[in-house]
Chain A
Amino acid sequence: MGFGEGLRQFLGPDTLASVVVEGLAKSAIYVMIASGLTLIFGLMGVLNFAHGSLTMIGAYLAGLVMVTLVGSATGAWTRLALFFVALVAVFAALALLGGVMEVGLIRQLYDRPPIYQILLTFGLTLVLEEIVRIVVLFYGLQPISEWRAALGTRPAMLSAEHSLGPLSVRGLALFEIALGAATVVGIWAFLTRTRYGLYIRAGSEDAEMAEALGIDVRRVFTVVFALGAGVAGAAGALLMWDPVWGANVPLAAETLLPAFVVVIIGGLGTFRGTVAGAVVVGMADATTTWWFQNVAVTWTWLPEITVFLILVGMLIVKPQGLFGVEEVGGH
């Protein structure tokens, strides 16, 4: 297909609508990957390089739960329910891990320059990734077939195409959009409707003042880190079911970089910005993927490079991001 014809087809209502749905599904994935990162940065000013590893561990854990329970699952609804069991279990496990990481390691570094927190979490990714690699090798999990089996636990109604009026939409895309939206609403409600959310907002506004008013900021830090890690794990659970991602060790780096791009485009540390950034990146990804698949574009790297070009462009034009304020958290 030539360029002109491609453009005409792309702007046709059917194609445009399906690209938008795909884009929203990708946005949902990106928002789940990135929102934990933004929570942690927003309050603590720690850019968590270990975030991708947490997502990767989440994907493996969710896969493990699904594989072990799949024998007892027959109907599509049971499997869907089991997925949510896995989701909750992974969230809890990763939140615990995140809490331990914060209390045991990162807490010691708050009075050092912020560069050391980046370095520490960078070291943590190396350790976490290698531990997972050892475990996976040791139990002989990595002939990927085992994880293909986890993928296979996805109920048929998610794999099938559903017709939505004139549109035909992948069931998985709808599921991802629903889960992403639920995550956004959940975090938003937590931040604005609960007492702890109030503490978090107070702590990120002025930690010293919050401390003076009797809020235990240290404990808030721990809770936020645990929450961020939990959300990262939940994102992993979702990725485990998506055939594009799956559960594997390189997933850590593959999710970390887009997560950085999303939070920077939106503005570091603002949750609203992260949602907006995820939509921008998701739409760009879906659009370029469509062009690459349907029009004679020989650039196989188009979708991948676009994401980083958006990052660079954003940093040149508006370094603080879409919704960011200059120099969040003093960095």
Chain B
Amino acid sequence: MVAVLYFALFAMSFDFISGYTGYLSFGHAAFYGTGAYAVILIANGKVPLLPAGTPFMVSLLVAAVLAGLLAVAIGLVSFRLSGVYFAMITLGFAQVLYVFVRGWDYVASNPRDGPAVGSTHPEGFEIGIPFVDQLNLAIGTFSGDTVTLLGHELGTYTVSFYMVGLVALVSYFAMQRIVHSPFGRVMIAIRENEERARAIGYDTFRYKLGAFVISGFFGGVAGALYAGFARSVTPESTFYFLTTGDALLASIIGGFGTLAGPLYGHLFDHSIREFLSNTGQGGGLLPFLRETLPEGVLSAELLGGLTVEGFIGAALNGHAALYVGIVFVLFVLYVPSGLVGTLRSYLGGPVAERLPAKLWGER
């Protein structure tokens, strides 16, 4: 479930630019990848001026700033275009980086498989304020800290969950603040009618570029968290355009243009995948059906030697992408404002404000 947090942060950063200004940033994976690769390269001592022992929060910030700078470079060129052309040029930039990173043997001995944190950094990455030991907790799949809190033993995974969640939460509130500031209002104005926004006197180019850079920055934070937790990254899971596609999925299902939506969207997506995977930790549908359906049903023949068991095996085993895709298509067709957006219009305002009133009546 840690994956939900860092990836939802990435999906939020994608929604921040695409959902709020209406510019579909199809190459957003470039920022995620930059953040992820920067963290691992710093940990391996491969970045000049930053030794292998650089605190994680410093390398996270450096990674995010690098992603932000990349966003300046891409944005300066791309925001001369709009619509489909904007989506394509950002996709083009991301693919150039993807192909480049996949072939650059400086990052890893086998760049196609991507780099991993090497022996220079055996312990987990510490999240907290650098050089203040009391506040630091390490994250990492197996190398994080364990904490005893009020008699409860929290494992490495749980600690990682909360620490990654903390950074994601802070980033969420930061973006939330920006969206509700005058700056965010201009972003929405650009989405609704860019010509009019320009006519009132806003320099829309600068606003778009600013939003893109902020979005790239938080995309970089998400990538850095991913790298810090997973300790190894691949070009496919970071720079590839389908990574952006996953963020798009999360945004649409959760609600395009609602900052919190991508979190729920990705949670939904992740749950379906977990539920349908063969080895789902929560049991999963396939083992459940295998155990509960009677033998007669399982061995019944459908057609041409295809038994029911064979059919559910073939249709369910690890093919969550099919069902996620169908859900996605249904959402695009029938629930265009997504989970959070629909709930919001049903309640007539932000969910957190309106839900108590709806449940317990106006006070």
Interface residues of A (CB under 8 A from B): 47, 105, 108-109, 112, 114-116, 118-120, 122-127, 129-131, 133-134, 137-138, 253, 257, 260-261, 264, 268, 299-301, 304-305, 308-309, 311-312, 315-316, 319, 327, 331
Contacts and interface: CB of A to CB of B under 8 A. Distances in A.
B91 A260 contact: yes
Contacts of A305: 96, 99-100, 103
Contacts of B329: 105, 120, 123-124, 127
Nearest to A45: B84
Contacts of B300: none
A131 B96 contact: no
Contacts of B89: 311-312, 315-316, 319
Given A134-B314, A134-B315, A311 B92 contact: yes
Given A123-B326, A125-B325, 11 more contacts: A122-B245, A122-B248, A123-B332, A127-B326, A133-B319, A257-B241, A305-B103, A308-B95, A308-B99, A312-B89, A315-B81
Consensus secondary structure, chain B interface: helix
Contacts of B93: 312
A112 B336 contact: yes
Contacts of A300: 103
A311 B88 contact: yes
Interface in B139-160: none
Size bracket, chain B contacts: 35 or more
Contacts of B314: 134, 137-138
Contact of B333 (A120, A261, A268): A120
Contacts of B332: 109, 116, 119-120, 123
A260 B26 CA distance: 13
Interface string B327-360: 0110011001000000000000000000000000
Interface of B: 22, 24, 77-78, 80-81, 83-85, 87-89, 91-93, 95-96, 99-100, 102-103, 241-242, 245, 248, 252, 310, 314-315, 319, 321-322, 324-326, 328-329, 332-333, 336
B324 A126 contact: yes
A108 B332 CA distance: 10
Contacts of B91: 257, 260
**10 tightest CB-CB pairs across the interface, nearest first?**
A126-B325, A130-B322, A301-B103, A127-B325, A123-B329, A123-B328, A311-B92, A331-B83, A138-B314, A315-B89
A114 B85 contact: no
Nearest to B330: A123
A3 to B, nearest CB: 19
A261 B117 CA distance: 35
A319 B96 contact: no
Contacts of B326: 123, 127
B322 A299 contact: no
Contacts of A134: 314-315, 319, 322
A108 B100 CA distance: 40
A127 B96 contact: no
A331 B83 CA distance: 6
A316 B85 CA distance: 11
Given A47-B84, A308-B92, A319-B81, A115 B24 contact: yes
25 contacts: A108-B333, A114-B84, A118-B24, A119-B248, A119-B332, A120-B333, A122-B248, A123-B326, A127-B322, A129-B321, A131-B322, A134-B319, A134-B322, A253-B241, A261-B92, A300-B103, A301-B103, A305-B103, A311-B92, A312-B89, A312-B93, A315-B92, A319-B80, A319-B89, A327-B83
Given A118-B24, A137-B314, A264 B85 contact: yes
Interface centre among A137, A268, A299, A319 (most CB of B within 10 A): A319
Contacts of A112: 336
Contacts of A261: 92
Contacts of B81: 315, 319
Nearest to A263: B88
Given A131-B322, A260-B91, A116 B336 contact: yes
A273 B92 CA distance: 19
A301 B88 CA distance: 21
Given A115-B24, A119-B332, A126 B322 contact: yes
A128 B89 CA distance: 26
Contact of B99 (A47, A124, A304): A304
B15 to A, nearest CB: 13
Contacts of B324: 126
A293 to B, nearest CB: 16
A311 B252 CA distance: 28
Contacts of B88: 260, 264, 311, 315
Chain A CB count within 10 A is highest, among B24, B100, B314, B333, for B333
Nearest to B95: A308
Contact of A109 (B24, B315, B333): B333
A122 B252 CA distance: 12
Nearest to B101: A301
